[in-house]
Structure 1
Amino acid sequence: MQRIILKSKNRILVMSGILIALGFAGEFLLQNEMLAIAGLGIASILGVLPIAIQAYQALKVKVVSIDVLVTIAVLGAFAIKNLEESAIVTFLFLFGAYLEQRTLNKTRSAIKELTEMAPESALKRQPDGSFLEVDVDEVDVEDVLLVKTGAKVPVDGRVLSGEGYVSEASITGESLPVEKKQGSKVFAGTILENGTLQIVADRVGEDTTFGRIIELVEEAQDAKSEAERFIDRFSKYYTPLVLLLSAFVFALTRNVELSITILVLGCPGALVIGVPVSNVAGIGNGAKNGILLKGSEVIQDFSKVDVMVFDKTGTLTVGHPKVSDHAYFGEDEKETLEYLSSVERESDHPLAKAVVEHIGITDPYKVSETEVMKGGGILAKVEGRQVLVGNLYLMEENQVTFPEKSLEIIHQYERRGDSLVLTSVDGVLESALGVRDQVRPGVKEDLKKLKKLGLKELVLLSGDHQGTVDVVAEELGLTKAFGHMLPEDKSAYIKKLQEEGHVVAFVGDGVNDSPSLALAEIGIAMGSGTDVAIETSDVVLMNGDFGKLPHALGLTKATARNMKQNIAIAVGVVLVLLFSLFFSEWMNMSIGMLVHEASILVVILNGMRLLKFSLFSPKAESERKIMPKESYGT
């Protein structure tokens, strides 16, 4: 019976409204007292039923909820035959709950839209080579699937054959379609705008990037911040306190109506709902803009950040460096290049890729006993010879011999801002390559926006030579820049900043900088939804677009402000209502409930403003979007 009544709340609301209208019509139009009593009395009884059930359920788990206060108030008003008050209070409470639920559903529109984007079916290749439409749950890893124009990509995978353009807005928030061809990665939930693709499934179901984004956004929206936990604890004690105040006033005045009115006016509804709605709307805005904020606690911490620390390669730069200078000191240049190419093929580092691209096609040697030296480079055995490939620090640590004038050339490269890729064979330096990365388009303006948002320091930490780091820092107007930084050095610097009282955010690629991402109050990963980025960071810029970073910081600050506004509105309304009750003649239970419900809607609507938050002007945003996506890096 309880479930049936609770499910019928909206019907009860309508019936209650009709009965109240009949009651007032009987009293004022027809002068029929019996009709007035019947209409208002039945409306009171019907209206209080779902409220009383919710109160009972709360008391069973030892929680004195708002429903308890309203139930006692309505029963009291009914007992003293104030049927107008009891009927109106129940109607307003139910109507407020209805509007509250409808409005809250809108704040969760982002996750709803994401869920609706989830693919439901796939064209799966059969043993005879034909393709059969199956439920997406029936797709397994390594299955071959056909994706036609206009269809959703059903899984994470790689293109086996075909070409086309895919809209990845559901993953990255980026509206420009991305070209896909053989070997390209595709993600579930994205849409093939033109072309036909055959893909091999790498991840299916909840394991896809899209599935995990939905899961993380849902968890983020359900997670509670410290402020929300405080308000929960506050409400736990506040509500019984209102009951005690009501009882105390009754003991002093013997005025039942005054005591009952205190119960209605003291309801902390707007206070309870104000903080969650702000956080949910903020997280929803981020999700729609390709910014994954992993919880309301993250929003609070991010809004307080005053120092932001950056990795260089792939973060401030596009991550596609090219060899700009080269010098060879040995007798056999071809052999040195083949050694170098063989070793660098073992690495996924952007500098290694630039070197392999520069050298071109060679006959690779067999590489054995590879050891990656953090912040230095690679030590390997190639054809029985010891080959070191890395920076100056690696060479000095391994006591490599430098030929005449080689140091002069190396320092010349460093002054130009080049990253060094040095090669030694059996303890003798054989070559030096200068590799230069390009600063991301628009980064300088984005950094200016971050400063305007209140950041005190913008710091660059990089494993590159100090000269290289200084060139980038000077170009971008950074506060401080440090080179030759190993991962443990970066972590130590972040600890130092924290000990000085700073709230630190670290921005990296989510792979090499995992310790720093985890240590900083806020870890921000640049990536396209990679596993490591999602797991190790607090904030993920899903398409690696640095331009989303100011939006993310501005959004969290706006959300924090919005939350404080909602708290002020909620507390202010309760104080004004109680003050009016004791020091004015016009305040009564019905007016109090009307103002109370109105305050709940005000804080919800105030929170919903965050769904439309945008740091960029429309013109600036359109100019950014016409840039080639490759210019942002990945």
Structure 2
Amino acid sequence: MQHYILSKKNQMTLISGVLIGLGFFSHFILENVRISEWSLIIASIFGVAPIAIQAYQAIKVKVVSIDLLVTIAVIGAFLIQNYEEAAIVTFLFLFGHFLEQRTLNQTRSAIKELTEMAPESALRQMEDGEFEEVDVEDVDEGEVLLVKTGAKVPVDGTIISGEGHINEASITGESVPANKTVGSEVFAGTILENGTIQIRADRVGEDTTFGKIIELVEEAQDSKSEAERFIDRFAKYYTPIVLVLAFVVWVFSQNIELAITILVLGCPGALVIGVPVSNVAGIGNGARNGVLLKGSEVIHDFSRVDTIVFDKTGTLTVGNPTVAETEFYGKGGTEVLGYLASVERESDHPLAKAVLQQIGETTLSTVEGTEVVKGGGIVANVNGHRLAIGNVALMEKEHAVFSKKAQKDVERFEKNGNSLVLTAVDGELKILMGIRDQVRLGVKEDLQELKKLGVKNLVVLSGDNQGTVDAVARELGLTEAHGHMLPEDKSAHIEKLQRAGQIVAFVGDGVNDSPSLALADIGIAMGNGTDVAIETSDVVLMNSDFSRLPHALGLAKATALNMKQNIIIAVGVVLVLLASVFFSEWMNMSIGMLVHEGSILVVIFNGMRLLNYRLQGKRILKKTKTNSTSEAAHTA
């Protein structure tokens, strides 16, 4: 029976709330006291049943919990026929518990989601040289595997034949696929976007990088035990004291009404209500403003953060590489753009897509004699001209002529963190394009807001090259910048910061970010990121709106402060009421209940102030609109 009632606690909370509403409606609108009274009585019974069971179970393990005090106080309220107090206290007590459990339960499927994303099969070379599909668990180190276009790399290994572009977003978080040739290292869980390769299995099963990601998430989640709530710590001492005090008063005075008065006045109704009200209002404000805060513990920890670590791609940057800078040399720029588009439209390289997006509509020509230069680019004939499109190494191989200005431009573009696409026509450099992932609009201003809110260290960790990461850090004024970081490297750096006594929040959006999101004191996921990142995190910025991050931190600080205010108000009122029972002549049950109800209203109204919390709201809303418009135009 106990198990059944506890399993139906949410439904009983709902019924209790409906009955309370009916009770007030009957009293003030229908003016039917009898219906009102019975509605509140039944609501109290529904509300107190699971609380009483929890109190009984706590007593069985020798723990005097606040559930016991609430239960006794409700019984006392029944004895003095204050059914309204009993109904409201039990309902709000249960509702606060429901809210916390609902938000925290969203993290439970993170491991399952990660496991489902792991590769399940592999094409293994048999003794006769043919390849046969087998379960990835059956692959041993040293075996040769075949990976075709669109397939997941099944293990960590080294390419022994073939080449192609591999999307390593699941490991490094980077949106630009990496060109892999013979001798290159590949990771399990990454995707071969084009080409066909054969790899030698170096690490299999749990030893792969993807397997380590799953292990890191499991360890990090296990290490993050929930902090004991202040109310529980308070109740550990407060509850027995009030019970003993009421009993002593009854023994010496033989005044049962006085003893019940102490129990009723000693019940921390405002304390029970105050924290959930602040919590509900803070979470409600966040939801209305594109921020999901997963529970009161998250709010408390988030409010104390002094270091925020960012993933780069998809977090500080848009996550879509585009042409950031372009320089033209000599005449015929429009014609050369047409030649360039004619060649690039035959390529499936991600940089080619960025180039075509930048050029847009143009006149196309017939392309002949296309030759792909490994690690360099493409050479082709267009309208009787020899075009070379690729990196600096290809230009040197083609003996392309660089002016002094072009040489300086190349250095400048590289310093700015660009991937270079150069176009030479008949041995003469004509176009230089710099392609990079663009920093999100308004991010620099948002980071300044975070500093104003007390964040001392802003750190970026990325799988991208150090030059690109340094360029982003310089542009945004970050404290630290580290490139070439695999998931385990990011987690290790976060642990290093934590050992140094810093309260760390991590902001990311990819599968590769999930270990860091789980390990950090607060994990913050971009809403358009992977499901695993969102579920592993403590805070979600819906629609990947980075401008919501300062609002989220400011809201967490305001909510944590509001909770403390409500606790002080609630405890203060209880202490004054109990003191007045013994040291004043004016205190009686009616006055005590009036003050008691007043304190409940005070903490409720104080908590509701959070619904209107804004961190320079007009600027944020305006900027968000501008960001959305600009990014949409940029994408188009």
Q: TM above 0.5, one fold?
A: yes
**CA contact 1:13–1:91 (8 Å) conserved in 2:** no
1:501 & 1:526 partners in 2: Cα distance?
26
Query: What's 2:517 paired with?
Result: 517
- Residues 341 and 282 of structure 1: is their aligned pair in 2 closer, same or farther, counting only changes over 3 Å? farther
- Distance in 1 separating the partners of 2:274 and 2:300: 15
Q: In structure 2, do the counterparts of structure 1 residues 353 and 560 end up closer, same or farther at CA, with 3 Å as the change threshold?
A: farther
The equivalent residue for 1:324 is 325
1: distance between equivalents of 2:438 and 2:41? 67
- Matches of 1:616 and 1:388 in 2, distance apart? 49
1:165-176 to structure 2, matched below 5 A, reads none
Name the SS for the 1:528 alignment partner: coil
Aligned to 2:159: none
1:465 shift after superposition: 4.2
The corresponding residue for 1:461 is 461
Kept in 2, the 8 Å contact 1:422–1:433? The answer is yes
Say if 2:85 is the partner of 1:93.
yes
* Structure 1 counterpart of 2:569: 569
What displacement does 1:480 show? Answer: 2.3
Q: 1:617 to 1:583 in 2, by over 3 A?
A: same
1:344 to 344, 349, 373: 349
Query: SS of the residue aligned with 2:544?
Result: coil
Contact 1:414 1:467 in 2 (8 A): no
Instruction: Quickly say closer, same or farther: Cα 1:94–1:386, change in 2 above 3 A.
Output: same
Corresponding residue of 1:136: none
> Secondary structure of 2:622's match?
helix
* Equivalent position of 1:553 in the other structure: 553
User: What CA distance in whole angstroms lies between the structure 2 residues aligned with 1:314 and 1:546?
Assistant: 10
User: What is the rounded CA distance, in whole Å, between the counterparts of 1:46 and 1:325 in structure 2?
Assistant: 74
> In structure 2, what is the equivalent of residue 419 of structure 1?
418
Which residues of 2 match residues 75-474 of structure 1 at below 5 A? 75=79, 86-87=80-81, 90=82, 93=85, 226=227, 228=229, 231-232=231-232, 234-235=234-235, 238-239=238-239, 241-320=241-320, 321-322=322-323, 324=325, 342=347, 344-345=349-350, 353-355=353-355, 357=357, 387=375, 412-413=411-412, 416-420=415-419, 434-474=434-474
Shift in alpha-carbon separation, 1:446–1:364, aligned structure 2, 3 A:
farther
Q: Equivalents in 2 of 1:478, 1:512: separation in Å?
A: 22
Corresponding residue for residue 196 of structure 2 = none
Describe the SS at the equivalent of 1:517: helix
**Does 302-311 or 446-455 show the bigger shift?**
302-311
Shift of 1:227: 5.2
Name the residue aligned to 1:197. none
Give 1:555 shift.
Answer: 0.9
Match of 1:64, SS? helix
Q: Which residue of 1 aligns with 2:120?
A: none
3-state SS of paired residue (1:513):
helix
For 1:242 and 1:544, the matched residues in 2 are separated by 49
Deviations 1:262-299 (A, max 9, x none): 11111122222222222222121111112222333322
Report the Cα distance in structure 2 between the residues aligned to 1:520 and 1:597, rounded to whole angstroms. Answer: 41
Q: Is the 8 A contact 1:342 1:364 kept in 2?
A: no
Cα offset, 1:476, TM superposition: 2.4
Once the two structures are TM-superposed, the CA of residue 246 in structure 1 deviates from its matched residue by 0.8
Say whether residues 1:599 and 2:604 are aligned partners: no
Q: Post-superposition shift, 1:584?
A: 1.0
Separation in 2, partners of 1:509, 1:359: 30
Matched, 1:68 2:68: no
Q: Quickly say closer, same or farther: Cα 1:410–1:300, change in 2 above 3 A.
A: farther
Query: Once the two structures are superposed, what CA deviation does each residue of 1:30-80 show, in whole Å capped at 9, x if it has no partner?
Result: xxxxxxxxx9xx9999987765776566445515252422423653xxxxx
Q: Return closer, same or farther for 1:569/1:400 CA change in 2, 3 Å cut-off.
A: farther
Report the AA paired with residue 419 of structure 2: L
Q: Distance in 2 between matches of 1:436 and 1:362?
A: 27
Query: In 2, distance between residues paired with 1:436 and 1:341?
Result: 21
SS of 1:604's partner is: helix
In the TM superposition, residue 432 of structure 1 has moved relative to its aligned partner by 9.3
Q: CA offset at residue 579 of structure 1?
A: 1.2
Report the Cα offset of residue 322 of structure 1: 0.8
Distance 1:629 1:335 in 2: 29
**CA deviation profile, 1:470-506 (whole Å, cap 9, x unmatched):** 3433332222223444444333322221221212222
Work out the CA distance in 1 between the residues paired with 2:417 and 2:318: 15
CA contact (8 A) 1:100 1:600 kept: no
Alignment RMSD: 5.2
Amino acid at match of 1:600: I
Unmatched 5+ stretches in structure 1:
23-38, 76-85, 112-223, 328-333, 346-350, 366-381, 390-398, 424-430
Q: In structure 2, how many angstroms separate the alpha carbons of the residues matched to 1:435 and 1:56?
A: 64
Give, in angstroms, the shift of residue 326 of structure 1: 8.7
Residues 425-450 of structure 1: CA distance to partner in whole angstroms, max 9, x if unpaired? xxxxxx99632444333222211110
- What SS does structure 2 have at the residue aligned with 1:231? helix
Question: 2:270, 2:603 within 8 Å by CA — same for their partners in 1?
Answer: yes
In the alignment, the residues of structure 1 paired with residue 16 and residue 435 of structure 2 have an alpha-carbon distance, to the nearest angstrom, of 71
Give, in angstroms, the shift of residue 16 of structure 1: 8.6
Distance in 1 separating the partners of 2:324 and 2:627:
24
| Secondary structure, counterpart of 2:611 in structure 1 | helix
1: CA distance between counterparts of 2:16 and 2:463? 65
Q: Report the Cα distance in structure 2 between the residues aligned to 1:473 and 1:311, rounded to whole angstroms.
A: 12
Rounded Cα–Cα distance in structure 2 between residues aligned with 1:514 and 1:45: 51
Contact in 1 for aligned 2:308/2:455 (Cα 8 Å): yes
Q: Shift of the alpha carbon at 1:562?
A: 1.2
Q: Deviations over 1:81-107 (max 9, x none)?
A: xxxxx35xx155268559969x99xx9
Instruction: Tell me the residue number matched to 1:580.
Output: 580
Matched position secondary structure for 1:621: helix
Question: For the residues of structure 2 that align with 1:411 and 1:617, how far apart are their CA atoms?
Answer: 42
- Aligned AA for 1:306? D
Amino acid at match of 2:416: G
Match in the other structure for 2:209: none
2:18 and 2:620 mapped to 1: Cα distance?
48
Find the aligned partners of 1:592 and 1:630 in 2 and give their Cα distance. 59
Q: Counterpart of 2:523 in 1: which secondary structure? A: strand
User: SS state of the match for residue 585, structure 2?
Assistant: coil
Q: How many residues align?
A: 446
Once residues 535 and 413 of structure 1 are traced to their aligned partners in structure 2, the CA distance between those partners, rounded to angstroms, is: 41
Amino acid at match of 1:440: R
SS in 1 for 2:242: helix
Alpha-carbon spacing, 1:574–1:318, altered in 2? closer, same or farther (3 Å): same
AA of the residue aligned to 1:71: I
Aligned counterparts of 1:435 and 1:482: Cα–Cα separation in 2: 21
> Who is 1:618 aligned against?
618
Give, in angstroms, the shift of residue 614 of structure 1: 0.9
1:354/1:565 CA distance change after superposition, 3 Å: same
Inter-partner Cα distance in structure 1 for 2:47 and 2:514: 46
Structure 1 position 481 matched with structure 2 position 481? yes
Partner secondary structure for residue 68 of structure 2: coil
The alpha-carbon distance between structure 1 residues 603 and 432, as it changes in their structure 2 partners (threshold 3 A), is same
CA contact (8 A) 1:524 1:540 kept: yes
Structure 1 residue 533: deviation in Å? 4.4
Where 2:439 maps in the other structure, the secondary structure is coil
Instruction: Give 1:355 deviation, angstroms.
Output: 4.8
